[in-house]
Amino acid sequence: MTTVPDLTGGNTRGPAPPKEWTLTHSRRDPTMSAMRAERVTDRVSFHGEGPVWWDRWQQLRFVDMFAGDVLTLDGDTVVRTPVGSSIAAVIRPRLGGGAIVAREHDLAISNLDDLSDLAGFVEVDPRPGMRCNEGGCDPDGGFWIGTLAYDLAPGTGTLYSLDAGSRRPRPVLDGLHISNGLGWSPDTATMYFNDSGAGVTWAFDYDPLEGPTNRRAFATEGPGVPDGLCVDAEGGVWVARYDGHCVQRLDPDGSLSGVVELPPSRVTACCFGGDDLATLYITTSREGLSEDAEPEAGSLYSVRPGVAGQPVAGFAG
């Protein structure tokens, strides 16, 4: 396994509060002008992913995936916490305290918010050459985690669901290429899911008992490939475009209604945070870049797009 260098460079200090954009203007303008994200930190990660804001924490957390670390934005400082694995795929809060963390091959759980008691409790995908990738929690407190092959072989990925009672992963979708971001509409009736290898954002009808059904292509166009996603309080779907220098906002009918541009090309994931849930935080990656290319890649960015997000769902187990 390649050892990823520590790129934190010590404490990081953010800029002045970003400009407040008015999304409704761009939604009505077919020649919409793009919003510009502001850089929040220095280069703090090799492959930043999975940002999450939790009201109890009053902090943003995300992962430096290939370093096996959870990163916490604590005021002007980024604090790095190892998860005991070469991969830190995703972190989500537990409703009763602590967090659930997907690692290379297993899921780990903590009772404490500082993760000092983090311990693995169940293996996800036992097949050789596989690892966990992206995940999140559904509106009913279940946890979802996707897998991919290290060699990115098409059709080998699986999306698993873990209910709070059994704490055992159950395969829900198979035959995936690169299982990635997922989220739910405000009324919970629609689930969105990115398969980066296929270049598709899928939409499903969603029922807490039946799970996702009626899969259909929600979006197939855009620069780069779809990576992480989140859904705002108005039902807009924000899709991070890896190799695309941007995050796109799609209305519930799939039409493009907003664009946030970033200097780094490898835009990985996004979430809403802050006291009013009106700041969109965006992670970026240095994966596949030379040391002198894109010096701002690996930084955290933010923008206030004129719409608020939904509170993040936590794991009920």
Q: Chain-wide mean pLDDT for the chain?
A: 91
Among 100, 117, 106, 90, CA closest to 228: 90
Active site residues: 227
Among 9, 43, 97, 35, CA closest to 304: 35
Angstrom distances, CA of residue 277 to CA of 4, 59, 232, 271, 281:
32, 12, 9, 9, 10
Please write the tens of the pLDDT for every residue from 234-257: 999 999 999 999 999 999 999 999
Among 150, 136, 43, 141, CA closest to 90: 136
Q: Structure tokens of 149?
A: 């092959």
Q: Which domains are delineated in the chain? A: 23-303 (2.120.10.30)
Angstrom distances, CA of residue 315 to CA of 87, 93, 144, 242:
20, 6, 10, 27
Band (76; pLDDT cuts 50, 70, 90): confident
Among 12, 21, 59, CA closest to 40: 12
Can you give the pTM of this predicted structure? Answer: 0.91
Q: Structure tokens of 207?
A: 């029922």
3-state secondary structure of 232: strand
Band (27; pLDDT cuts 50, 70, 90): very low
Q: Stretch 281-307: mean pLDDT, rounded?
A: 97
